[in-house]
Chains A and B, each alone.
Chain A
Amino acid sequence: MTSRTERLTTYAVLGLFAVIAVFPLLAVAEQAIGLSHPTFGAFTEAWRRGHFARYLTNSLIVVTVVVVVASVLSILAGYALGTMEFRGATTLFYVFLAGLMVPTEAIVIPLYFDLRSVGLDNTLPGLMLPQIAQSVSFGVFWMRAYFRSAPRSLVEASRIDGASSWTTLRRVLVPVGRPAILTMIVLIAMWTWNEFLLALVIINANEDRRTAPLGLSVFQGQHQTEYPLLMAGALIVATPVVLVYVFLQRHFIAGMLSGAIKE
């Protein structure tokens, strides 16, 4: 229907912006590896001097715990709010939903003082618990939507078979809802991995508890001008999420669209 010129213009425009989107990331890789004389020296150097082995381990622990706990809590709460009727259910849902609109900036300072007063500052649990709370806000919203859309007949069939609400959830709804749950997991994992402000404020003194993004920012402060080192560090921090994204991009995008309020 459209002319050849218009078609070519479309490709040119899309191509231009695609280049703009990936250029900074490719430039990072180029600086770290050095295309003319490819070497991974910057990686080993950054890995060693930046203590990334430790920081990545911390990040991995935090992400795993936050994802597992937040997902389980969200599935349980979303199940009740999506399929059961009880007094205050709607209000409870709106209370969870409101959490999506609370920026980290509004709670991080009181959290810092609260966590310090109970000795949880500079600990991984102190970093995980607020992230679980934020993730639950999204997760409840997300899982409730799934449970409401799940076919009633499934629930009723299993009810007629005499299954308890727990068995119905575990044996019927969770297996069927795997795509919805996977999308939620992917998003929570990304947000948790990339979280910076909470890590900066809560892990303020204990170097051994830094997560990867926080570690990179400190590394950046120390190596302002050693770009290959810095870029290698940036790649180390960014790559896990980018890899997951490339393989599961449908889930990322679908989740960002339907869960549209968060961030």
Chain B
Amino acid sequence: MRHPGEPRRIGYLYVLPAFVVYAAFLLWPLLHGAYLSLFRWDGLTVGTWAGLGNYRQAISDPQLRGSFWHAVVLLFFYAILPCCIAFVLVSAMSRSRPRGMTFFRTVLFLPQVVAMVAVAVAWQWIYSDHGPINGTLRFAGLGGLTRGWLGDFTWALPSVGLIGTWVEIGLAMVLFLAGVQKIPRELYEAARVDGAGAVREFFAVTLPGLRRELAIALTLTTVAALRNFDLIYLTTGGGPGNATKVPAYEVYNRTFNTGEVGLACAIGITIAIIVFVVTAVINRVVEGRP
């Protein structure tokens, strides 16, 4: 519908400034990156055409394939685990409606707003030789289990993953809390009349009622898992060995450490494509089943 007396053309004038900045500093780099991803280029000399060679390498190179596999492992810690924990918290809250919900919500969401650099500093200390985890183990007489968690080949990846869990719980919980408030109380009352306990009530009422919020939470946390450059760079630098290398880290590493700019761009574009597909698939699943 057109507003009376509104010259349509003026709309372009309002959009133009935003579009210029957006096109120059987001769209153009994206296209430029896609273009660079088709070359073998070290960033200095003249590049050579590689076609989809960089993408083939991203899939076939064992080290890079390993990094994608690590991202899949992190998906569990960033997306699935926080959503499960958030479900426990929210179903507990929705059943007994405790006082101080705002307080708990505020506190649990806090890790989302703290700069990743500060998070990394805090957790490096927690995982360090003399940090609280090893301290507790020693205190409990389990000194044999102590280790430098972030420097351990087996434990580094799950240790980083748990930092992600810590960060994402609050996000999932806040989303679910918003959703739970929209579930009609009668559904809960009906479930109780039918004699449902906490567990059955959760699967019969809460979980179906939160489908949309679950989809959003999974999208956001999955995307966070796929692009966790900061945390890896700041805590482990991909190590020990290649134990915590992830694609987002390889974008940086291949550009500045090994001089494989074309390959780095291909990895970056691959991350973008995966993010796009994940978002689309999760949304499709949500919309698809009424």
On chain B, the number of residues with a Cβ less than 8 Å from chain A's Cβ atoms is: 98
Q: What's the dominant secondary structure at chain A's contact region? A: helix
Residue B153 CB within 8 A of the other chain: no
Q: Which of A113, A130, A230 contacts B26 (CB 8 A)?
A: A130
Residue A76 CB within 8 A of the other chain: yes
Distance of A251 from chain B, by nearest CB (Å): 11
Per-residue 0/1 for B103-123: is the Cβ within 8 Å of any A Cβ (1 yes, 0 no)?
111111111111111111111
Residue B79 CB within 8 A of the other chain: no
A13-B92, A28-B122, A217-B234 in contact; A77/B30 too (CB < 8 A)? no
Chain A residue contacts of B123, Cβ below 8 A: 24
Chain A residue contacts of B255, Cβ below 8 A: 109, 112
B121 x A77 contact (CB < 8 A)? no
Q: How far is the CA of A59 from the CA of B276 in the complex (A)?
A: 31
CB nearest to A7 among chain B residues: B96
Distance of A5 from chain B, by nearest CB (Å): 10
Distance of B65 from chain A, by nearest CB (Å): 18
B36 x A110 contact (CB < 8 A)? yes
Segment 77-101 of A: residues with Cβ below 8 Å from B: 77, 79-81, 83-87, 89, 92, 95-96, 99, 101
Residue A203 CB within 8 A of the other chain: no
Residue B139 CB within 8 A of the other chain: no
Interface 9-residue window, one of B52-60, B140-148, B167-175, B202-210: B167-175
Residue B69 CB within 8 A of the other chain: no
Per-residue 0/1 for A6-35: is the Cβ within 8 Å of any B Cβ (1 yes, 0 no)?
110111011001101110110110010000
Chain B residue contacts of A156, Cβ below 8 A: 3-4
Segment 184-227 of B: residues with Cβ below 8 Å from A: 192, 198, 216, 219-220, 223-224, 226-227
Segment 77-114 of B: residues with Cβ below 8 Å from A: 85, 88-89, 92-93, 95-96, 98, 103-114
Chain B residue contacts of A27, Cβ below 8 A: 122, 125-126, 132
**Residue among B28, B106, B166 with the highest chain A CB neighbour number at 10 A:** B106
Q: Which of A18, A96, A133, A260 contacts B104 (CB 8 A)?
A: A18
B117 x A263 contact (CB < 8 A)? no
B121 x A234 contact (CB < 8 A)? yes
A245 x B110 contact (CB < 8 A)? yes
Chain A residue contacts of B26, Cβ below 8 A: 99, 102, 107, 130, 133-134, 137
Residue A174 CB within 8 A of the other chain: no
Between A and B, 19 residue pairs with Cβ closer than 8 Å are A1-B192, A10-B98, A14-B89, A25-B110, A83-B3, A85-B1, A96-B19, A105-B268, A109-B264, A133-B26, A136-B22, A159-B4, A197-B229, A197-B252, A246-B106, A249-B105, A249-B106, A257-B178, A261-B220
Residues of A within 8 A of B (CB): 1-2, 6-7, 9-11, 13-14, 17-18, 20-22, 24-25, 27-28, 31, 69, 73-74, 76-77, 79-81, 83-87, 89, 92, 95-96, 99, 101-114, 129-130, 132-134, 136-137, 139-140, 155-156, 159, 165, 190, 193-194, 196-197, 200-201, 212-213, 216-217, 220, 227, 230-231, 233-235, 237-238, 241-242, 245-246, 249, 252-253, 256-257, 260-261, 263
